[in-house]
Amino acid sequence: MTEKLTICLVGPKAGGKSSLLAALTECVAQGSFGYAPRLRPAIQPLGEKDFRAAEAEMRPADFLAHEEGDYERLQRDFAQGGVATDTLDTYEYYFRLTVNGEAPPAILTPGPWLLEIVDSAGEVAVPPNGVEIAILDDVKTKLARQLLACEAIVLVLPLVRLEDSLWIGALTRLIDRLVIAPEKKLRRLVVVFSHYERLFVRLGPSAFTYACDPAVARHVLSRALRRAQWLERLRALETPNGGARVRFTVASAYGFTKRFQNPNIDPHQPGERRFRRAGLEGARAAGEFWRPFLTAEPFLYAALGMDSAFTFSFAQLDARAAGNDETSIID
């Protein structure tokens, strides 16, 4: 049975939302996530027409049809050195998710799942305090409607000092409104801390080894959330009245190099660009050495409600904090 789900992707400007989404399909294809290999998920970009239509209504001729879609353009922009969602609107991307291996009991339906992922500009959902930005009221209304109607939210935050961020007040207000909204359909919310690879830039070929340790990821999350005053508000979403499950994870859209295992940001290129072979252009040049890391995690949990080795609950992070153990590698 096919199930349709809407996932809203929100967070501050330049937090890594669009990059996370652009790296999603490649992360699934390379198996660079914390789910068991026997799950064998596959995710395929769709056009809006195919998403809206029932599978029985899809014409056989459409099976071999191909034209560049919005998601492919997003991936191309990302490969060329960065991508950001325009501030004037929200953007919808569509996917077909299947589980081709051993589906655990936690997955209640066999799928496939048709996913609508709404990518919103940071200035719309989580604007910085004290900055005047002209956003059309109909765009705000559209995003508010999508947030209330979606089954899952992926909240992307950069790994920075949250208490010093200009947008932290807007984030708190957004969570408060979600908690008290009686008409919301929210079932799952995933908080993703992006730019995970930047914590390991001094470790060279050991970087990927440490990044792949779930205990290191949990330590990073515990430290990042230690002074988060909005955390208690987020807990209210898991009360019987809130009705949603909350998880925390880390992710790296730029990821790591495949052979040398170092963080995949080329210091010899302007801006933030992945390593590539000189003289090559296009997807092969950008993807030859690239392993995106955990960018599938938040979307797979949002769709399936299934934990991986890198998704952590309040209880897991509370137990980590109570233990008060430290990992000096990333301090």
pLDDT of residue 84: 66
Q: Which of 28-32, 42-46, 227-231, 275-279 comes out lowest in average pLDDT? A: 275-279
Ranked by mean pLDDT, the top range of 55-69, 87-101, 144-158, 280-294 is 144-158
Per-position b or e across 35-45, b if 16+ CB within 10 A of its CB: beeebebebeb
Both structure tokens of 74: 């997003």
CB-based contact 96:43 (threshold 8 Å): yes
Please write the tens of the pLDDT for every residue from 190-224.
999 999 999 998 898 899 999 999 999 999 999 88
Residues whose CB is less than 8 angstroms from the CB of residue 138 and which lie 6 or more positions away in sequence, other chains included: none
Alpha-carbon gap, residue 274 to 37, rounded angstroms: 26
Report helix, strand and coil shares of the chain as percent, to nearest 5. 40, 20, 40
Confidence class for position 117, pLDDT limits 50, 70, 90: very high
Give the count of beta carbons closer than 10 Å to the beta carbon of residue 200.
22
Give the count of beta carbons closer than 10 Å to the beta carbon of residue 122.
23
* Mean pLDDT confidence for 88-114: 83
* Mean pLDDT confidence for 234-255: 88
CB-based contact 52:108 (threshold 8 Å): no
List domains and CATH numbers for the chain: 3-330 (3.40.50.300)
Q: Look up the pTM and report it.
A: 0.88
- Tell me: pLDDT of 330 over 50: no
- Tell me: pLDDT of 287 over 80: no
What DSSP string describes 175-196? HHHHHH-TT----EEEEEEE-G
- Tell me: pLDDT of 253 over 80: yes
Peptide bond into 112 cis (omega under 30): yes
pLDDT of residue 102: 78
